[in-house]
Amino acid sequence: MEKGIVKQAVLVFMICALAAVIFGLRYYERQAAGESVADETAYGETAPENKDVYSEIGIRLPGNWQQKIMLYPDGEKLYAFLPAGADRSNLHWSFDENKYEVTCAGRGIRNNARVAVFDGEETVQIRERNEDELTSYRLCVLQSENIPAIFINTESGSMDWIHREKGNRESGTFASLNENGEPVYEGPLEKITGRGNSSWAEDKKSYTITLSEKAELAGMPAAEKWVLQANAMDATRMRNKLTYDLARDMGLRYAVDSAYADVWLNGEYVGNYLLCEKIEAGKERVDISAEDASEETDGYVREEDGAWWEYVGAQDRRDGYLLEFNERIGEEETGYFYAAGRQVEIKTPKQPTREEYAYIRDYARKLTESTENAANSDSYLEYLDLESWSRLFLINELSNDTDANRYSVFYYKDKGTKLYAGPIWDYDIAWGNDTLGKDVHCSFFRNGWYGTLYDNPIFYQSITEHYRGMRQILERYLNESIDILCDTIGSSIRMDDIRWAHSGGYTRRSDVRQWEDAVACLRDYMRERMEYFNGVWLSGETYHRVFFYSGDTVVAVTYVKEGDTVPGETLDYVAKCLEITDWHTQDNEVYDRTERVYSDLRLYV
């Protein structure tokens, strides 16, 4: 008896120890990735139950492919999530009569029977035929409006394999309806796979999809590869869309086109998504040369400075380059090099040769050297496109994207051209939606190649001139575009909120969960950020930068009018983010907060 108790105690101890190790590793990984871990239990002492189990009872839509929509049980309610344009007078029940007995509004229901039109909530009772228990629900039929619908059915009929590991993939079928419920495209799905870095840990996940042939989706140019962005950490679901549109309106070439869609996976509604063009080389995407290799590869080579491929025979050097700042390169085989102290992935050409790797690496190093001397020389203009670089700087600065120049930052170059900035990607934690970016007076993105460009008169003039036009666009967004988006996706967001009410994802970066409140916070942040830079760049007064350092790394920057002191709330805010109490000068003296600013200032942890 005592031995049994001891064994149980040892087992419990081992389980607890294992759980502690797993939690510790997860905490360390998220800290290393720069992700906030402050609020794991936004809903209370324990995370809410993950309600992702759909009923086997469904409603079948009319049409050639007879798509079945599974019903979603949530407490006493059973939800039917319908796409925009679906004919509610032509819906049919779909379930296994050998397994289930179903009644609705007191009437027995047969498989394939027509569903009555619901104006409110009806009582549905479900009993498994081999069980005595009868489960009652209130059936709630919700329908989206204004946006397309996407239906993906995998060969296995499940997403378990895809969700087991991000790199897993599966084929299936793909279909899309427009906002009027009319079929737009239906065909084989070559593959669906998960995507995202920190966002992959969220319940609501993003995906990359590859069709078997090019197709126009949601009015966008035909392509095979698309991205379904979940926006799982943005309660507004708007930050990516607004920023992609902003880049397009500013004239940044190859800005990502996007459109909202409701998505069903194997008949299960998974929410409101942003269907996006995938950033890749191609005629309808980033139009640079992207020839495939003409010789067989002879192995992957990884050295301290980067990685490339060796080839069996001679390989002509390809001239189109698509680059991504990506600090998360791990053991996967990909071409990359280092520039400005950061990893840069070579997205195009695929499997770069040693010569291609060396060429773009050396080009980037020359560019880095020239930008580091930008305060004294205009030589950087030999290597970069001024217009696109100043526009990207403004987008990152105004949005206060804390991932800028670390993750998902793209550049491209073709034969005989300079290096262009863009396309932009992944702004779900921008515009105040992150602990590090909530103060409108403080920028938290790392400088990267932009470290000293701000000190160059030509670059400074370029950003201030472009900002005048950007300000007009932002005014339109604040007064019109956000309201239009709200009207467009409001019904979809209502369904999405119910589907993901259990998930803490939307409060991972901000504790504002209600959609209307989150949109108001976004609007306020955009307005206050714009007003702040109106003073910095358009007032005619002199502003100086205050750099906050941790070691040799600039972690934050603020702008202070000449003769003013650094605002105490900004000093305290950045200190709190870094978990320190005092700031020090270069001489390691405690900084005097009454000191007035008459030149750029550096403060240290």
Residue 545 covered by a domain? yes
Residue 488 covered by a domain? no
Instruction: Tell which of 142, 159, 188 closes a domain.
Output: 142
Q: What is the pLDDT of residue 446?
A: 59
Q: What CA–CA distance (Å, rounded) separates 17 from 544? A: 51
Sign of CA dihedral 515, 245, 403, 528: negative
Instruction: Tell which of 142, 166, 181 closes a domain.
Output: 142
**CB-CB contact of 93 with 115 (8 Å):** yes
- DSSP state, residue 449: G
Q: What is the pLDDT of residue 3?
A: 42
DSSP three-state, residue 189: strand
Q: What CA–CA distance (Å, rounded) separates 513 from 496? A: 13
Residue 531 covered by a domain? no
Question: Per the structure block, which two tokens stand in for 319?
Answer: 């001239």
Residue 97 covered by a domain? yes
Q: What CA–CA distance (Å, rounded) separates 225 from 540? A: 47
Which helix (DSSP H) or strand (DSSP E) does residue 525 occupy? helix 515-533
Q: What CA–CA distance (Å, rounded) separates 168 from 151? A: 20
Q: What CA–CA distance (Å, rounded) separates 78 from 74? A: 6
pLDDT in tens, 22-43: 333 333 333 333 333 223 323 2
Residue 117 covered by a domain? yes
Q: What is the pLDDT of residue 270?
A: 98
Query: Which contacts (CB < 8 Å, 24+ apart) does range 497-501 have?
Result: 498/72, 498/74, 498/79, 498/142, 499/72, 499/79, 499/81, 499/269, 499/270, 499/271, 500/203, 500/204, 500/232, 500/271, 501/51, 501/74
DSSP three-state, residue 291: coil
Q: What is the pLDDT of residue 507?
A: 80
CATH of the domain at 107: 2.60.40
**CB-CB contact of 430 with 243 (8 Å):** yes
191-211 as b/e: b if 16+ CB within 10 A? bbebbbbbbeebbbbbbbbbb
**CB-CB contact of 323 with 346 (8 Å):** yes
Residue 207 covered by a domain? no
| Nearest C-alpha neighbor of 233 from the set 22, 488, 506, 417 | 506
Strand partners, 153: 173
Burial class from Cβ neighbours inside 10 Å (0-12, 13-18, 19+) for residue 343 reads middle
Residue 538 main-chain phi, psi, to 5 deg: -120, -10
**Angle between helical axes of 239-250 and 386-399 (0-180°, round to 10):** 150
Instruction: Tell which of 142, 176, 195 closes a domain.
Output: 142
Question: Per the structure block, which two tokens stand in for 448?
Answer: 């990267």
Q: What CA–CA distance (Å, rounded) separates 294 from 280? A: 20
Domain that holds residue 575: 541-605
pLDDT in tens, 271-329: 999 999 999 999 989 999 988 878 888 899 999 999 999 998 888 889 999 999 887 78
Q: What is the pLDDT of residue 84?
A: 97
CATH of the domain at 592: 3.10.20.90
What count of other Cβ atoms lies within 10 Å of the Cβ of residue 471?
Answer: 18
Residue 556 covered by a domain? yes
Tell me the whole-structure pTM to 2 decimals. 0.89
Ranges of H-type helices in 331-436: 354-372, 386-399
Q: What CA–CA distance (Å, rounded) separates 246 from 243? A: 5
Ranges of the chain with pLDDT below 50 = 1-50
Residue 264 covered by a domain? no
DSSP three-state, residue 469: helix
Q: How many domains does the chain have?
A: 2
Question: Per the structure block, which two tokens stand in for 178?
Answer: 């427009």
